[in-house]
Amino acid sequence: MFRAFDLQGFDESFFASFQNTEGLVKYGRYMTASGKKAVTEALTEIASDKSVLDGQTIQDSWFPDVEADVMLSHSHGDEDEVLMLAGWLKSKFGLTSFVDSSIWGYAGDLLRMIDDKYCRNANGETYNYALRNESTSHVHMLLTTALGKMIHKTECLIFINTPASIATRQVVKTQTFSPWIFAELTLAGIVEEVIPKRLVTDDGWVTANKSAGILKEAEVRRLRVLHTVENMSRFTAIDGETLSTWYNECEDKGPESLDKLYEVTTR
């Protein structure tokens, strides 16, 4: 990961001036379809009769290593808006987005399959508490590891900061009820910075014409754990106006279009 952004005040109203917003959502869904297909096909393999499951096989098939330029970290409550954003990034800038919920949402299904096969008590009607804890640990560790790999691999991470993802009553600390958002933001704060090759000259220095603009820096009982993200210093705050400026000024396609976003956010 090279840069991380904290996108604040974002909702579907940003796209009010764009035509065919429904098309953007459909485009976003289309781009995540291949990952979902891989997840669905993995059902047969995982459900087969095996006494030992291969964690690497599960991770490779259930959490595929998607090729993407941008990772979109968000709450499940904002999925439609995020898919719209993914479609917009692709149609305008040619950027491929990794939408975490399109894959991670299947973790519960995977856990259910493993529990049904390996964690039932002898009566077949209830689950063994200890075995359930063990299976949950395995699946969640696979998920967290895959998250870390994806954050490291993508050049840019955009966190969609909305009331659905962050506890709004907290005015000083960044806190969230989502363990996955907590994991993503924490990992993004500690992974190694990877400067894109296009910004580095043959002698190893960052290109002078880009360095100044880029390198600055309900009534149902439910367990809710409030996680505090200790360090978001690597995240640059942006909003809809920032995205509009990027949209209006950028003429590049693909990863190079991110250079203009980096420039816009350091003015």
When pLDDT is cut at 50, 70 and 90, the band that residue 42 belongs to is low
The pLDDT tens digits for 102-150 are: 666 677 777 888 898 889 999 888 999 999 999 888 888 878 887 888 8
Whether the pLDDT of residue 210 is over 60: the answer is: no
List Cβ neighbours of 199 (8 Å cut-off, separation of 6 or more): 206, 207, 210, 211, 214, 259
3-state secondary structure of 245: helix
When pLDDT is cut at 50, 70 and 90, the band that residue 171 belongs to is very low
The pLDDT tens digits for 225-265 are: 767 777 788 899 999 999 999 999 998 899 999 999 999 99
Residues 165-192, mean pLDDT to the nearest whole number: 74
- pLDDT at position 95, please? 92
**From CA 225, how far away is CA 103, in angstroms rounded?**
23
The answer to pTM > 0.85 is no
Strands 227-229 and 174-176, by their bridges, are antiparallel
The pLDDT tens digits for 56-105 are: 776 666 556 668 899 998 887 788 888 888 888 988 899 988 887 766 66
Residue 168 has φ and ψ, to the nearest 5°, of -70, -20
- pLDDT at position 265, please? 93
Cβ–Cβ < 8 Å for 143, 104: yes
- pLDDT at position 3, please? 92
Side chain identity at residue 143, one-letter code? L
Give the CA distances from residue 147 to residues 104, 206, 257, in Å, rounded to whole numbers and listed in that order: 9, 28, 24
CA trace torsion 160, 162, 164, 169 (10° rounding): 140
**From CA 90, how far away is CA 108, in angstroms rounded?**
29
Q: Which span out of 29-33, 36-40, 94-98, 102-106 was modeled with the highest average pLDDT?
A: 94-98
**From CA 71, how far away is CA 77, in angstroms rounded?**
17
